[in-house]
């Protein structure tokens, strides 16, 4: 995949997570690069000591991932490479590994309907310098209103327009230093200055809304949508399976474009045994196109 158009994800406050990286040993040249990239990405997130396990090949990834999923890991990264050759071995391995990891995810991740999150309403002033933050804090201590102080000192246009108000802040939404200060502060106490990459914050917690549980009736609509989505996926999978089975017997492929979805496809050959010669990943795999129904000769 080129990566073009991929979403930009922002991940915060994950440094205390238990993470395991499972990586195939084959193909060494490709896999060492993938492992190094994964470890660098985790290091950038503050995860410096993930568990690293190497397995013989991609085929073993779901098996080891299942074992680790039962040992309290918060996240598991599975890395493997499969190189297309002249036999169906590529499809067999890819299909099995994908099904195994997808099934493991579905079994391990349980949808939660009853949990909410504590939220805090804030009054804030954001300044460029610590000196300006201290001036703003002094003005508040002298009895000036948040609205007037935010108007004079704050560089955050959104909260300034609301009189310095920043409502319904949940854990993990703000930069870590500010986030930690917010959720360790007591209600009604003036806090700061807190240094962040955006500047210096002076703030006060105005209101704390504790996490609340949903009743079954409140969660009913969410449950219905989830079940409908699952049923739609099952119907789509059944349709695709039936479509391929029905049309395979009616699809003859021209020489040079034969795949396993063709009526005239060769019989599958056994999977190569361990130690068998592998195709060099630097060699280009033969180009294959989708099968077409045979047309009468013109």
Higher model confidence: residue 94 or residue 194? Answer: 194
Of 22, 2, 39, the C-alpha closest to 80 is 22
- Length reported for the chain: 298
Q: Which residues contact 227 (CB under 8 A, 6 or more apart)?
A: none
- Residue 179's φ and ψ, nearest 5 degrees, are -60, -45
Each residue of 231-261: pLDDT tens digit?
877 887 788 788 878 888 888 888 777 777 7
With cut-offs at 50, 70 and 90, classify the pLDDT of residue 276.
very low
pTM for this prediction: 0.38
Show the domains of the chain with their CATH numbers: 19-108 (3.40.50.960), 119-209 (3.10.50.40)
- At residue 248, the 3 state secondary structure works out as helix
State the alpha helices, DSSP H only, in 70-175: 89-108, 130-141, 146-153, 157-161
Mean pLDDT of 27-47: 90
Each residue of 204-217: pLDDT tens digit?
999 998 766 566 66
C-alpha 229/C-alpha 176 separation (Å) is 35
Q: Give, in order, the Cα–Cα distances in Å from 16 to each of 12, 50, 71, 81, 211.
A: 11, 11, 16, 29, 22
- At residue 115, the 3 state secondary structure works out as coil
- Residue 251's φ and ψ, nearest 5 degrees, are -120, 105
Give the residue numbers annotated as catalytic, written as ranges: 89
- Burial class, 278, CB count within 10 angstroms (exposed 0-12 / middle 13-18 / buried 19+): exposed
> What is the pLDDT at residue 252?
82
- At residue 158, the 3 state secondary structure works out as helix
pLDDT above 50: residue 38: yes
- How many Cα atoms are found within 13 Å in the side-chain-facing hemisphere of 13? 12
- 8 Å CB contact between 58 and 82: yes
C-alpha 185/C-alpha 134 separation (Å) is 18
Each residue of 146-200: pLDDT tens digit?
999 999 999 988 888 889 999 888 887 788 899 999 999 999 999 999 999 889 9
Contacts 24+ apart (CB under 8 A), 127-135: 127/153, 127/154, 127/155, 127/193, 127/199, 127/200, 127/202, 128/155, 128/199, 128/200, 129/199, 129/200, 130/193, 130/195, 130/200, 132/200, 133/192, 133/193, 133/199, 133/200, 133/201, 133/202, 134/193
Mean pLDDT of 93-118: 70
């Amino acid at each position: 995949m080129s990566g073009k158009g991929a979403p930009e994800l922002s991940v915060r406050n994950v440094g205390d997570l238990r993470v395991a990286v499972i990586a195939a040993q084959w193909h060494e040249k490709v896999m060492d690069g993938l492992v190094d990239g994964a470890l660098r990405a985790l290091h950038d997130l503050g995860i410096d000591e993930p568990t690293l396990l190497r397995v013989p090949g991609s085929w073993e990834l779901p098996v080891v991932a299942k074992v680790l999923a039962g040992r309290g890991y918060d996240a598991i990264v599975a890395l493997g490479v499969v190189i297309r050759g002249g036999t169906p071995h590529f499809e067999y391995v890819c299909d099995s590994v994908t099904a195994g990891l997808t099934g493991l995810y579905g079994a391990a991740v349980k949808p939660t309907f009853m949990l909410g999150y504590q939220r805090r309403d804030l009054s804030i002033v954001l300044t460029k310098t610590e000196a300006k933050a201290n001036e703003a804090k002094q003005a508040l201590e002298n009895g000036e209103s948040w609205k007037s102080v935010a108007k004079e000192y704050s560089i955050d246009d959104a909260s300034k327009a609301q009189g310095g108000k920043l409502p319904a802040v949940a854990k993990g939404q703000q930069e870590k230093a500010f986030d930690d200060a917010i959720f360790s502060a007591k209600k009604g106490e003036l806090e700061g200055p807190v240094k962040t990459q955006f500047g210096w914050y002076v703030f006060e917690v105005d209101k704390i809304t504790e996490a609340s549980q949903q009743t079954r009736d409140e969660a009913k609509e969410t449950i219905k949508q989830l079940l409908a989505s699952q049923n739609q996926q099952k119907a789509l999978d059944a349709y695709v399976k039936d479509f391929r089975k029905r049309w395979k017997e009616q699809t003859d492929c021209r020489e040079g474009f034969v795949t396993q979805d063709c009526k005239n496809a060769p019989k599958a050959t056994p999977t190569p045994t361990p130690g068998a010669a592998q195709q060099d990943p630097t060699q280009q795999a033969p180009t294959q196109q989708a099968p077409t129904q045979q047309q009468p000769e013109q």
